[in-house]
Amino acid sequence: MVSHFKYHAFGQVIASEFPIDVLETAPAEARPTIRVELAQGLRQGERAEDPFFEITETRQVFEWRAVGAFEITDPACIRVDPRPDIPWRLVSQPLLGIVISVALERLGLFCLHGGSVDVEGGAVIVLGDKGAGKSTTVSSLLRAGHRLLTDDLVALDCGDHSAAAEVQTGFPAVKLWPDSAGALAGESDLGTELIHPSITKIQKQIDPAVMARPTPARAIFLLAPTEEGETRAERLPETRALEALLYFAFIARFGNTSLGRAHLALFMKRCCHVVKTTPVYVLHIRRDLDRLDDLAAVIRAEALAAARA
């Protein structure tokens, strides 16, 4: 394979045969840990399901009719068979989300569906169901002066058993609904574009120079939107915290046993490590874009209190 492009994200050096413009460029001498290769014959055309996933211990296949197909056998190699003439920008959307999350899991990281921001030296992780306001909450923290670690995919390195897991730096972009993007207009003007013509979410670019470097996890917040009341945090006992992390793990959408029993044992060990070393809170937040500054202030106060505990 001849890789024309080299990037870094999620603690990896990614060598790709096509451009992934949203990623930060890695030095030419950096040794790749994940290869992204173009392939043929992976697309199966009109499947009954769209998207289609086939996840087993040794082979993982992903296909979207509008994008193309992806295959992982070796976790250090992602093969891509895109639809003809599709922009590379659209190919990168699933690649840098659900597809790479499985590769990262197989390479030893623990992946959550959420975002993370460095709040004064500690990583705050934001989790929530679709539409709960994860990216809006992340962006409110950025507007308050904190630094982005990652949006949509949180990859944690649990290798140091004596310390909190370390959140890896993702890539410099945040996905927002248009109303949230309008409320946070001052946060970044480097670039704004629709993710896909059929999706109304906007992708806002962040200056790579202000991205945070890998940071130990300090607090995890599960968003629980309400129509009234004040924003407040409620710490969960470890048993409920464990249930929450299992629910928001990226691999959970396929079934936590889908990568085999050996992976399941390691996955559970990593999940328990995160719960033991990082407090998990339910964050009751009022659905009000005019109160995003209050939201950021509550998260900061709880995160700093967790650091002192």
CATH of the domain at 288: 3.40.50
Domain that holds residue 44: 5-106
Cα 18 from Cα 91, distance rounded (Å): 10
- Two tokens at 306? 């967790």
192/220: higher pLDDT: 220
If asked whether residues 165 and 294 sit together in one domain, one would say yes
If asked whether residues 51 and 132 sit together in one domain, one would say no
pLDDT recorded at residue 132: 84
- Is the pLDDT at 192 greater than 70? The verdict is no
If asked whether residues 203 and 121 sit together in one domain, one would say yes
If asked whether residues 70 and 114 sit together in one domain, one would say no
If asked whether residues 134 and 77 sit together in one domain, one would say no
Please say whether the beta carbons of 154 and 171 come within 8 A.
Answer: no
Amino acid at 190: L
* H helix count then E strand count, the chain: 7, 19
Residue 85: pLDDT band (50, 70, 90) is confident
Distances (CA, A) of 276 to 2, 241, 263: 43, 10, 20
Mean pLDDT over 123-131 rounds to: 93
Residue entry with tokens 């409920």: 240
Please say whether the beta carbons of 152 and 192 come within 8 A.
Answer: no
Buried b (16+ CB within 10 A) or exposed e, 164-177: bbbbbbbbbbbbbe
- Of 106, 134, 158, the residue at which a domain comes to its end is 106
Mean pLDDT over 292-303 rounds to: 89
Please say whether the beta carbons of 157 and 122 come within 8 A.
Answer: no
Mean pLDDT over 227-256 rounds to: 91
Please say whether the beta carbons of 167 and 126 come within 8 A.
Answer: no
Mean pLDDT over 81-105 rounds to: 95
If asked whether residues 99 and 116 sit together in one domain, one would say no
Q: What is the pLDDT of residues 11-63, one digit of tens each?
A: 999 999 999 989 999 998 999 999 999 999 999 877 778 999 999 999 999 99
Q: Give residue 253's Cα distance to chain centre.
A: 14
- Of 57, 85, 106, the residue at which a domain comes to its end is 106
If asked whether residues 116 and 100 sit together in one domain, one would say no
- Two tokens at 154? 């949180």
If asked whether residues 146 and 290 sit together in one domain, one would say yes
Is the pTM higher than 0.85? The answer reads: yes
pLDDT recorded at residue 265: 94
> What backbone torsions phi and psi does residue 213 show, to the nearest 5 degrees?
-85, 170
- Three-state DSSP state, 293: helix
224/188: higher pLDDT: 224
103/46: higher pLDDT: 103
If asked whether residues 12 and 33 sit together in one domain, one would say yes
- Of 78, 106, 134, the residue at which a domain comes to its end is 106
For the chain, what is the domain count?
2
pLDDT recorded at residue 188: 44
Average pLDDT, the chain: 89
pLDDT recorded at residue 147: 95
Cα 78 from Cα 34, distance rounded (Å): 7
- Is the pLDDT at 200 greater than 60? The verdict is no
Residue 190: pLDDT band (50, 70, 90) is very low
Please say whether the beta carbons of 57 and 263 come within 8 A.
Answer: yes
- Is the pLDDT at 237 greater than 90? The verdict is yes
Q: Give residue 161's Cα distance to chain centre.
A: 22
If asked whether residues 114 and 201 sit together in one domain, one would say yes
If asked whether residues 147 and 254 sit together in one domain, one would say yes
Buried b (16+ CB within 10 A) or exposed e, 41-69: ebbeeeeeeeeebebeeeebbbbbeebbb
If asked whether residues 31 and 48 sit together in one domain, one would say yes
